[in-house]
Structure 1
Amino acid sequence: MNGNYRRLALAALLLALVVVSLGAYVRLSDAGLGCPDWPGCYGKLVGVPDQAHEIKAAEASFGKPVEAPKAWKEMIHRYAAGLLGLAILALAAMAWRQRQHRKPWLEILLLAVVTGQALLGMLTVTRLLKPVIVTSHLLGGMSTLALLAVLVLRDQGTRRAPPKALPGGLRVLGALALFAVLVQIALGGWVSSNYAAAICADFPTCQGRWWPEMDTHHAFTLDRELGATASGALLSGAALTAIHWAHRLGAGMVLLLAGGFGLRLLARAETRIHGQWLLAALLLQLGLGIANILLQLPLPLAVAHNTGAALLLVTTLAATARVFQRSEARHRYTMGGFTRQFQTVR
């Protein structure tokens, strides 16, 4: 791919990180329903009602007061997401024109994910912040970010010959670390969409106990409304505690797997820089998580924790890709050597 494609892919990756952070800001500042309709806001595709006659008409049509600050937060997020969608569409078009050199499956997948994201964005509003939809929307944003990272990393394989062979166990550990980070992001999204972050105000215990009272059944029932059980009853504090505690347990698993992976990378010269970035992102994210608990979720720290999850995902993905790329490059080099020897014998 040419330089324009690579620059656009990198710009889209950075924009995706901004969109993920904006989405967290909208959700955590309770602005997710700042606009009661989609894709416009109170019937306006550009801007929000700000004139007296516009506000009066909007309130009459939608039956709720216009809260301009919240509406603007939501619309800025939508505009940024729309710009990201256009960038991904452009990447797909550029890749399609070059399909004789490389199949554009990744770009087409990205386009499908971003289309699904638009649908989830609409359902988030129309289904009044249903937790499973909000969490799916967050995961869709993270998936978009991860696929764009793969796009950027795809052409950065190892070109040095001969590359040093990496232990097979390192690939397994990298895959496990990446899986743990993905599961932890899903658990974090479930905490956020259920507003369960503040249920435990102490650390490392929760409510003064190492194993607090929990209701895992209602906590992880997916098909229910916000703040309610599947039967419509009020969701209990024990259920919120279970959601929060599961996220803490997930953090421990990420610390073990991603931390162990980072330390293994740090011990090897050819992967040291990836180990440094991974461990830095991991420690930052753990620090932000603990600070959010102890300081009771100040908005800047809560948004930073979401952004930190995105950075941890990208650094873990980059490190894992590096390990797999080097292993594959080593395999190609070895096979090439066998081929050259065979041709010499012939």
Structure 2
Amino acid sequence: MIGLRAFRRLTLASVLLLAAIVVSGGAVRLTGSGLGCPTWPQCGDGSFTPHSAYALNGAIEFGNRVVSIVVGLVVLALPIAARRLREPRRDLLLLSLGLWLGFVGQAVLGGITVLVKLHPATVAAHFLLSMVLLFNAVALHRRARQAAGPTPPAVRPELLWLARLLMTVAGGVLVLGTVVTGTGPHSGDSEDTKRFGFDIVNVAQLHADGAMILTGLTVAMIFAVRLTPAPAEARRSANALALTVVAQAAIGFTQYFAGIPPLLVALHMAGATIMWIVTVQLWLAMSERPPARESAWTGSRQVAAG
């Protein structure tokens, strides 16, 4: 049997690894290594490892696939561990299964992305599905720290709706960010430059407008969690979100006027991932449950179980 403490370590690992795979996936695209392994699941005909002919690009793409395998192993372990908890938790099992199914979908979508030669629509879907998986993983990690049972709101209805609106706008900003990326110069492969047919200035401006709305809502949230009763976790998350949004805005404007250099794009992707995690944490903090407690696992119980 497995205790909640060990299970929480797994959930934390899933959050960190799912965030890491976004960054490593960005490195693949920004170095033009998206087709470094021209086939999937193999990396070239008859081999699962990169041929010397594919050089550095193949190694980068192959490395990203290795990270994906590690993520898959951790995610696969979650529903197995949830079934073996000392005290059965249906909510943890369902969230774990959802995370595993989402990861399988991500693997299939990754293969499709290679087969369609990195079409920007599939690249965008790949990133956005990663954000869905992160939402699931963050929720699972938080649930593993709480006791079972209903999750009543811990704030006034107005504050809860503000958190929902902030989540919605943050998701919209992520979607617009993928449109900008799919229109910009970093296609993911140095020889194949399929892009969206939008005007980069217009879509970048639309993305910036969404970011400004998000900034305004974040400022409103900072005041709201201080002027009305709210959990301390909500106040901390609001502060963290404000710092992240400001940093993202600074990086975004700098990369645009600097000609979209790959390093700043990578930082912007990492920042977007952190921003999303903090936004999810803020929304989840609007409801509270008692903390989970490790059940006593005495020798008599073990004998009885035997």
TM-score range, shorter chain: 0.7 to 0.9
Deviation at 1:110, TM superposition (A): 0.7
- The whole-number CA distance in structure 2 between the counterparts of 1:72 and 1:88 is 24
Match of 2:44, SS state, is: coil
Given the alignment of the two structures, is residue 94 of structure 1 paired with residue 81 of structure 2, yes or no? yes
1:323: which partner in 2? 286
- Change over 3 Å in CA distance of 1:196–1:184 after alignment to 2: farther
Q: Is 1:184 equivalent to 2:170 in the alignment?
A: no
Q: Counterpart of 2:190?
A: none
Given candidates 47, 67, 71, the residue that maps to 1:80 is: 67
The equivalent position to 2:19 in structure 1, one of 17, 20, 42, is 17
Match 1:249 to one of 202, 209, 219: 209
Residues 269/144 of structure 1: CA separation in 2 closer, same or farther (3 Å cut): closer
1:31 equivalent in alignment to 2:33: yes
Identical columns (%): 26
Match for residue 219 of structure 2 among 259, 265, 275 = 259
Q: What do the CA deviations read for 1:216-239 (whole angstroms, capped 9, x no partner)?
A: xxxxxxxxx9336xxxxxx3xx63
Displacement of 1:39 = 1.6
Residue 286 of structure 2 aligns to a residue whose secondary structure is: helix
Name the counterpart of 1:240: 200
Q: Which amino acid aligns with 1:280?
A: L
Report how far residue 153 of structure 1 moved. Answer: 1.1
> Which segments of 5 or more consecutive residues in structure 2 lack a partner in the other structure?
187-192, 291-306
How far off its partner does 1:194 sit? Answer: 2.7
Q: Aligned pair 1:149/2:134, yes or no?
A: no
Alpha-carbon distance between aligned partners in 1 of 2:62 and 2:153, rounded to the nearest angstrom: 50
Cα root mean square deviation, aligned = 2.6
1:1-346 paired onto structure 2 within 5 Å: 2-43=4-45, 45-50=47-52, 55=53, 66=54, 68-98=55-85, 101-103=88-90, 104-157=93-146, 166-195=155-184, 226-227=194-195, 235=197, 239-266=199-226, 270=232, 271-325=234-288
Q: Which has the greater radius of gyration?
A: 1
CA contact (8 A) 2:218 2:238 kept: no
TM-score normalised by L of structure 1: 0.72
CA distance in 1, matches of 2:4, 2:50: 40
Distance 2:185 2:160 in 1: 35
Aligned-pair CA distance for 1:308 = 0.6
Higher relative contact order (Cα pairs below 8 Å, separated by 6+ residues): 2
Q: CA deviation at 1:269?
A: 7.3
Tell me, in whole angstroms, the C-alpha distance in 2 between the residues paired with 1:303 and 1:182. Answer: 19
**How many Å separate the matches in 1 of 2:220 and 2:31?**
35
1:43 Cα shift?
3.1
